[in-house]
Amino acid sequence: MKVIELKKSSVSLLDEGILHIHLKGGAEFELEDAVLVVEAMGKLGGGKKLPVLIDAGEFVSIDKEVRIFSASPESNIYTLADAIAYVSLAQKLIADFYIKYNKPVVPTKDFLSKEDAIEWLKTFVSK
């Protein structure tokens, strides 16, 4: 598995052909961090569009600019679909808000387990 470690996140390419973005616990995720993640996705995926699994440690904050950018075509140049795996009610509420109000340009769902998220994302992996 290839991994790019960033200050507030890590981006890896899973064996299933899925990009995994992990937001590190306690991070205050800002627009510049989101831009670095997109650059890392392009490097790991060889410039191809791939399905993306997103999860976060505890007490991660994501500002409004990041939510707007993350839903935009510019942010999704390497994304086929996003699956957001959550572990707390607070994370689920944030994910639901993002999906409903920011309206991402790629298919986006939230899941209680990474396994379910990966199974859904596999439907977007080209054979």
pLDDT tens for 45-83 read: 999 999 999 999 999 999 999 999 999 999 999 999 999
CATH number assigned to the domain comprising residue 53: 3.30.750
Q: Confirm whether 120 is domain-assigned.
A: no
Q: Is residue 121 part of a domain?
A: no
Task: Report the pLDDT averaged over residues 105-113.
Answer: 97
Residue 122 lies in a domain: no
**How far is residue 90's CA from residue 72's CA, in Å, rounded to a whole number?**
23
Q: Work out the average pLDDT over 22-47.
A: 97
CA 36 from chain center: how many Å? 12
CA distance 63 to 103: 16
Could you tell me if residue 56 is inside a domain? yes
Confidence of residue 44 (pLDDT cuts 50, 70, 90): very high
Given a cut of 90, is residue 1 above it in pLDDT? no
Residues 6 or more apart in contact with residue 35 via CB below 8 angstroms: 69
Residue 78 resides in a domain: yes
The reply to whether 48 falls in a domain is: yes
CB contact set of 67 (below 8 Å; sequence gap of 6+): 98, 102
Would 77 be classed as within a structural domain?
A: yes
Q: Which domain holds residue 58?
A: 2-115
Quick one: average pLDDT of 103-108? 98
Residue 38 clears pLDDT 90, i.e. is over it: yes
Give me the percent of the chain exceeding a pLDDT of 70: 99
Which secondary structure element, helix H or strand E, spans residue 41, and what is its range? helix 31-44
Please tell me the total count of domains within the chain: 1
The torsion region of residue 119 among left (phi > 0), alpha (psi -120 to 50) and beta comes to: alpha
pLDDT of 126: 73
Asked if residue 75 belongs to a domain, the reply is: yes
